[in-house]
Amino acid sequence: MASGIGLVFPGQGSQSVGMGKSLCEAHPAIKQVYEEASAVLGYDSAALCFEGPAERLNLTEYTQPALLVSSIAALKTLESAGIQPIAVAGHSLGEYSALVAVGGVSFRDAVGLVQKRGRYMSEAVAPGTGLVAALLGLTPDVVKDVCREASVVGVVAAANFNSPGQVVIAGEKAAVERAIELAKEKGCKKAIPLPVSVPVHTPLMQRAADRLATDLAAIRWSDLRAPLINNAEARAISRANEIHASLVKQLPSSVLWEDTVRTMGTMGVTTFVEVGPGAVLTGLIKRILPEARLMNVNDPKSLEATLNNVNR
């Protein structure tokens, strides 16, 4: 086993029609992952991931299981090559993939949980009333001040502290729009509205978190084979009894991704492998730890490159 490897798992926004298809064709054994997921979900998971349609794949309730399944299918190809991490993390939804990767929860249970998580999130806020935007060029403290000032209009909060100079805010539409105006006054280089209508990682998700807590309590959790750096606190957790509270706290709390990556670095992670669709996290980590070795696994070519590099 190569030392210093950390696995990271993507969240919502990394999905695309066709994800995982070429990897599944090259490694037929991972079809079992899609079949097991389909039995839980009640629909053909592989067909949705490979063929879409995009309109359905982009609905939160369908996006979340699809990303989990695609990530775990990619993980299986790494595991079959003997790759084991010294630490793991996932961005928002990706935290569930990370927990599966280190034995904290069964894949079957995780699929059912993220399906419910997506549904609860969608139902927590009326369609069209939320807004999410990325702010570039401001410090975390300035973004917090902007959100505090804009909160007189409605709920708005810093949802993701992604990398130096990139913070995502979310909340009620009018409040987010006001925060964007204030951010520009304070020197924000760019404000980018994101195609996400559910203002996750804000207090608006507390209702969803309360509903999810009941489902989380019914799951059998296990101690982790390697520590997970959690979203809500950027803290290493390894014990089964820590997982439930961490996941409940995650939904209405900010994702501390920059701090999470830095924590993994202090734990000895020198190689980060993004497991699953896209390369969003790879791009963020490059800005957080420029010296880190970065790889991803989402198709046969990237898998081969990763295996060649980690075994050097």
For 212-268, write each residue's pLDDT tens digit: 999 999 999 999 999 999 999 999 999 999 999 999 999 999 999 999 999 999 999
For the chain, what is the mean pLDDT?
96
Given 92, 163, 254, 302, which residue is catalytic? 92
Q: Kindly list the strands in the beta sheet with 293-297, ordered across the sheet, starting from the edge strand earlier in the chain.
A: 236-237, 228-229, 87-90, 5-9, 271-275, 293-297
Question: Is residue 312 over pLDDT 80?
Answer: no
Average pLDDT over residues 283-304: 97
% of the chain surpassing 70 pLDDT: 98
Q: Is the dihedral of CA 66, 224, 249, 149 positive or negative?
A: negative
Residue 196 has pLDDT above 50, yes or no: yes
> What predicted TM-score, i.e. pTM, was given to this entire model?
0.96
pLDDT at 184 over 90: yes
pLDDT of 1 strictly over 70:
no
Q: Confirm whether 92 is a catalytic residue.
A: yes
pLDDT at 307: 94
Q: String of b and e for 171-183 (b: at least 16 CB within 10 Å)?
A: bbbebbbbbbebb
Average pLDDT over residues 6-17: 95
pLDDT tier for residue 195 given thresholds of 50, 70 and 90: confident
pLDDT at 37 over 50: yes
C-alpha dihedral, 121 to 141 to 237 to 3, nearest 10°:
110
Q: What per-residue confidence (pLDDT) applies to 256? A: 98
Instruction: Given the residues 38, 201, 246, 253, select the one marked as catalytic.
Output: 201
